[in-house]
């Protein structure tokens, strides 16, 4: 089946054998939870870069409470949540996209000018980044790419609809 998304792009959708109706809707991404090597250093970095506020309790890992915990940060403006996870078994290796797991996460911005503001903000903080990249391959979008202290690739993304 071919469907047209809100961006005007046609997508091929394979129907599941038992699918008779559309999947239930989601409202967006609720939270992003990377495993980090130093939860306190990462919390300070995400607080500084994104202006997040720390939720004043530590969250144990559900089903593995003795193995680690999460520090949860929230953006009071948008409600975006980031849970930074510490696992006792983590040897502290830096992140790399080529291993199974997360490749990157992209945060949306309202308009192209928002990317310029973010690039300036990252410059002020001394955080290395790509600058604003405008491309039309495979479709028109703009992005700023940078990395957190564990080398996790973060993107600030704008696509006109």
Residue 154 maps to a domain: yes
Convert the pLDDT of each residue in 92-141 to its tens digit.
Answer: 888 888 876 788 899 999 999 999 999 999 999 999 999 999 998 888 99
Distances in whole angstroms, Cα of residue 140 to Cα of each of 45, 69, 97, 133: 31, 40, 24, 11
12 belongs to a structural domain: no
CATH of the domain at 141: 3.10.180.10
Contact yes or no for 73/57 (Cβ under 8 A) = no
pLDDT at 98: 82
Element (H, E) at 121: helix 112-125
Domain shared by 89 and 122, yes or no: no
Residue 120 lies in a domain: yes
Domain with 77, as residue range(s), is 29-93
In this structure, are 62 and 80 located in the same domain?
Answer: yes
How far apart CA 148 and CA 156 sit, in angstroms, is 13
| One domain, residues 50 and 80 | yes
Do 127 and 71 reside in the same domain of the chain? Answer: no
Residues counted in the chain: 161
| Residue 117 shares a structural domain with residue 147 | yes
Residue 89 domain-assigned (yes or no): yes
Looking at the structure of the chain, the number of domains it has is: 2
- pLDDT tens for 24-79 read 676 677 788 899 999 999 999 999 999 999 999 888 877 777 888 999 999 999 88
Cis bond leading into 138, ω under 30°?
yes
Residues 34 and 59 in one domain: yes
What integer pLDDT is reported at residue 150 of this predicted model? 92
Q: Give dist(CA 151, CA 139) in Å, integer.
A: 27
Give 65's DSSP letter: G
Residue 101, by phi and psi: left (phi above 0), alpha (psi -120 to 50) or beta?
A: left
């Amino acid at each position: 089946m071919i469907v047209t998304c809100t961006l005007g792009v046609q997508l091929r959708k394979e129907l599941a054998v038992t699918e008779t109706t559309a999947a239930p809707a989601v409202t967006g991404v609720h939270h992003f939870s990377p495993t980090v090597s130093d939860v306190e250093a990462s919390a300070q970095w995400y607080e500084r870069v994104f202006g997040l506020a720390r939720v004043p309790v530590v969250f144990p890992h559900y089903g593995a409470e003795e193995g680690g915990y999460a520090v949860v940060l929230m953006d009071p403006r948008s409600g975006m949540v980031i849970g930074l996870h510490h696992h006792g078994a983590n040897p502290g290796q830096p992140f790399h996209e080529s291993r199974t797991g997360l490749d990157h996460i992209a945060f949306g911005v309202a308009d192209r000018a928002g990317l310029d503001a973010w690039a300036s903000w990252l410059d002020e903080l001394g955080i290395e980044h790509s600058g604003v990249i405008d491309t039309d391959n495979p479709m028109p979008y703009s992005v700023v790419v940078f990395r957190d202290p564990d080398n996790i690739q973060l993107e600030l993304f704008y696509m006109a609809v």
